[in-house]
Amino acid sequence: MKKLRSILGHTGAILGLVLAVVSPFLLFGWFQHAIASAGLRIDPEYTGGEIARTIDRGAYRIAVYQPVWRRSPIQRIAPFVQLTWAPAASLPETVSDAVDLDGDGVADIRVTFRPAALAVDVASLNGKYRSVHSQGVTSFSQLIARVNERIVLRLPLD
């Protein structure tokens, strides 16, 4: 009787361990479906927001995103607007573009950068936006970086 209890106890422990290791793989599809149906989305602070408009420059495109504003006083990220240039391989040695950020048909900023160096100069053309010089990642709301086949630029808003 003692030996039978020992065998059953060890068998139960082994089966429990196997079930604990295998169940995440078996239930992964169910968890994925449950999260997708919950309507959760990645925060715009990380994605850069929604694309407002795309400007076609022939060999490349500029995507202008909706501004991302601070939603609560405890947020540490300053408001910003994101722009992307794609494909990065098609960009000229020095990029210099006048960009309309607010969609009124008038250029708001002039962006100049070299894709190889990833240092950017942004000149405000109308006083609504501030001029900046940035190299790499200064903060989460002010950066220039190469992400896959895109050059991502974030400009802080006042």
Specify the DSSP class assigned to residue 72. S
Shared-domain flag, residues 85 and 100: yes
Same domain assignment for residues 95 and 126: yes
pLDDT in tens, the chain (158 residues): 788 888 888 999 999 998 888 888 888 888 788 878 888 777 777 788 899 999 999 999 999 999 988 777 776 778 899 999 999 999 999 999 999 998 888 999 999 999 988 889 999 998 778 888 888 777 878 888 999 999 999 998 87
Q: Which of 77, 120, 129 is CA-nearest to residue 102?
A: 129
Tell me: do 22 and 52 sit in the same domain: no
- Tell me how far apart the alpha carbons of residues 55 and 77 are, in angstroms, rounded to a whole number: 27
Q: What is the pLDDT of residue 23?
A: 83
36 and 56: one domain? no
Same domain, 26 and 96: no
Instruction: Tell me, yes or no, whether 31 and 99 share the same domain.
Output: no
Chain centroid to Cα 35, Å, comes to 20
Nearest to 110 by CA among 120, 118, 119: 120
The residues near 46 (Cβ < 8 Å, ≥ 6 apart) are none
Domain that holds residue 29: 1-40
Rounded to whole angstroms, the Cα distance separating 20 from 2 reads: 27
Tell me how many domains the chain contains: 2
Cβ-proximal residues to 137 (8 Å cutoff; 6+ apart), any chain: 143, 144, 145
Residues 16 and 94 in one domain: no
Same domain, 69 and 103: yes
**Residues 92, 149 within the same domain:** yes
- Confidence at residue 93, expressed as pLDDT on a 0 to 100 scale: 93
Q: In what order do the strands lie in the sheet with 95-99?
A: 95-99, 109-113, 119-124, 132-135
Whole-number pLDDT of residue 66: 93
Residues 141 and 87 in one domain: yes
The two tokens of residue 39 are: 């309507």
Cβ–Cβ contacts within 10 Å for residue 20, how many? 9
Co-location of 24 and 51 in the same domain = no
